[in-house]
Amino acid sequence: MSARILVVDDLAPNRHLLEAKLSREYYDVLSAGSGQEALDIADTEKLDLVLLDAMMPGINGFDVCRRLKADPKTWHIPVVMVTALEETSDRIRGLEAGADDFISKPIDDFNMMARVRSLLRLKMITDQLLTHTGQSLEDSRPMIESLDRPNGRILIVDDHAGRMERMAVQLRVQHDVSLQMDPRQAIEDSRGDIDLLIVSLVSDEFDGLRLCARLRSDEKTRDLPILAIGEASEEARLVRAYDVGINDTLMRPVETQELMARVATQLKRKFYADSLRDNFNENLEMVVSDPLTGLGNRRYFDRSMMPLIDQAKTGTAFSLVMFDVDHFKRVNDILGHDTGDTVLKEIAARLVTNFRSIDIVSRYGGEEFVVAMPETTAADAKIAADRIRALISGTPVYLDGQALSVSVSAGIAQATSGESARDIFKRADEALYKAKLGGRDRVETSPIKKAA
């Protein structure tokens, strides 16, 4: 599974509904019916996200959140508070307790999944930073928190001066905010010293989606976080915005606490990612990287997989997933190697942001990527690989505003006791070859080899 999520609600129907919705997206879901049960689970299980009802008998959601954020073992886990729609005071209490974001009742599926995906990406980057420190969770906390600067540089783009100014008034309490009504000038401004772009998707004078696509096709703004403001009734347009490459959404009318929470998450993620980039060379001896994609290269992967092979001898399953970009030679021959490089970088980004933080993702050579998934059976690896395959084929790569459809094929092999790395790679490669013969844009699994 791509992430482990804890759902906390004292009402069983609410829990079951959320469990079903999250499970359909292939998340591993745990549930708790009380605040104390939630704390007990968090103490013993590895979690990536907590969805927490605010109002519960006994230990309420605010106190649970406060205790999770104070605990040396759980302070880094993102918490989404589920609050009543009209209760602004609940959101303020949630922020004070350390909540990372909010979902309002009745729960909207699109909004919930947007919150979940956004915060899981933040958790992944936090995990990467924690790994780089080489210290315990508790000892790493001051360093991680020091990266989260109190103010960011934010650019708001809209054709309505009043809307922009109302938002800016709220944000200027903490951040440096500039406003822009001209989309062409906004592109130039975004290439400067900006940490976050907030863009309207409901403007009459310009197409916010086209602006986002232009920013994603520009190397200087490709990684700039984008928060899009839209209408809840235009879900298809919001889905399209995610396809274009925005990072998060906020619905009109804009609610102050939700605005501050969304902005805080995107800035935190930006600052953490900047730190990882800045410190990359210092970690070069530990992470031997591919210079094009930033992933680990073949040497790094081979070295990282050896402990997993040793664990397989004791019966601990792990699976190897081998991805190959379909018809990549045609991309290079027709569109050029620069376009090919852009495709490889985009595939690498989608792989690393959609696998778990414990999975080892590397570029093994050419258009081939490999992923080692610890404690994962072939069946679970196939679910994850097929979900990511569908994401890649369903989301074009944008080059100078033009959409290029790309797909991948994948082969999977589950390691068994006594197998060498060469054996596992051979079986995964055979499964990949089968996927190619089967028409590409598909995932195949090698039969599990019986232990000798």
Residues with a known catalytic role = 367
pLDDT for residue 131 is more than 90: no
What is the distance between the alpha carbons of residues 206 and 183, in angstroms, rounded to a whole number? 7
The answer to whether domain 4-109+126-136 and domain 287-445 are alike in fold is no
For tokens 């598909």, what's the residue? Answer: 442
What strands, in cross-sheet order, belong to the sheet with 101-105? 28-32, 4-8, 49-53, 79-84, 101-105
Residue 52 pLDDT level (bands cut at 50, 70, 90): very high
What does pLDDT average to over the chain?
90
Q: How far apart are the first and last CA of the chain?
A: 29
CATH class of the domain at 153-278: alpha beta
The pLDDT score that the predictor gives to residue 286 is 45
Q: Which residue has better confidence, 288 or 9?
A: 9
pLDDT tens string 214-263: 999 898 999 999 999 999 899 889 989 998 889 999 999 898 999 999 99
The pLDDT score that the predictor gives to residue 1 is 41
pLDDT for residue 358 is more than 90: no
pLDDT for residue 284 is more than 90: no
Residue 146 pLDDT level (bands cut at 50, 70, 90): confident
**Residue (of 127, 131, 175, 126) closest to 155 by Cα position:** 175
Average pLDDT over residues 42-50: 95
**Residue (of 312, 291, 300, 277) closest to 415 by Cα position:** 312
What is the distance between the alpha carbons of residues 310 and 411, in angstroms, rounded to a whole number? 22
Interacting residues of 316 by C-beta distance below 8 A, sequence separation 6+: 374, 375
86's tokens: 């009209």
**Residue (of 266, 264, 293, 275) closest to 129 by Cα position:** 275
Burial 255-269 (b: 16+ CB within 10 A, else e): bbbbbbbbbbbbbbb
Q: Which residue has better confidence, 211 or 129?
A: 211
Provide the 8-state DSSP code for 357.
T
Q: Are 381 and 319 in contact (CB under 8 A)?
A: yes
What is the distance between the alpha carbons of residues 364 and 443, in angstroms, rounded to a whole number? 18
The reported pTM is 0.62
- CATH homologous superfamily of 287-445 equals Reverse transcriptase/Diguanylate cyclase domain (3.30.70.270)
Beta pairing partners, 77: none
Packing angle, helices 161-171 and 256-278, rounded to 10: 70
For tokens 């094009």, what's the residue? Answer: 292
What is the distance between the alpha carbons of residues 128 and 123, in angstroms, rounded to a whole number? 9
**How many Cβ atoms sit within 10 Å of the Cβ of residue 60?**
18
pLDDT for residue 85 is more than 70: no
**Residue (of 324, 334, 355) closest to 404 by Cα position:** 334
Q: Are 416 and 446 in contact (CB under 8 A)?
A: no
What is the distance between the alpha carbons of residues 114 and 111, in angstroms, rounded to a whole number? 5
Q: Are 39 and 6 in contact (CB under 8 A)?
A: no
pLDDT tens string 299-357: 888 888 888 888 888 888 899 999 999 999 999 888 899 999 999 999 999 998 899 88
User: CA angle, 290 as apex, 46 and 195 as ends, to 5°?
Assistant: 65
Packing angle, helices 61-70 and 88-97, rounded to 10: 20
Half-sphere exposure (Cβ direction) of 216: Cα atoms closer than 13 Å = 27
Domain ranges of the chain: 4-109+126-136, 153-278, 287-445
What is the distance between the alpha carbons of residues 94 and 66, in angstroms, rounded to a whole number? 9
Average pLDDT over residues 110-133: 86
Provide the 8-state DSSP code for 296.
B
Average pLDDT over residues 94-123: 90
Q: Compute CA distances 45 → 1, 38, 40, 131, 397, whole Å.
A: 15, 10, 9, 19, 37
What is the distance between the alpha carbons of residues 424 and 371, in angstroms, rounded to a whole number? 12
pLDDT tens string 176-202: 999 999 999 999 999 999 999 999 999
pLDDT for residue 291 is more than 70: yes
**Residue (of 114, 61, 72, 143) closest to 261 by Cα position:** 114
Residue 285 pLDDT level (bands cut at 50, 70, 90): very low
Q: Which residue has better confidence, 166 or 146?
A: 166
For tokens 């935190």, what's the residue? Answer: 268
SS3 234: coil
Could you name the CATH architecture of 4-109+126-136? 3-Layer(aba) Sandwich (3.40)
Half-sphere exposure (Cβ direction) of 207: Cα atoms closer than 13 Å = 10
**Candidate from 75-89, 242-256, 365-379 with smallest mean pLDDT:** 75-89
What is the distance between the alpha carbons of residues 121 and 32, in angstroms, rounded to a whole number? 24
What is the distance between the alpha carbons of residues 152 and 264, in angstroms, rounded to a whole number? 9
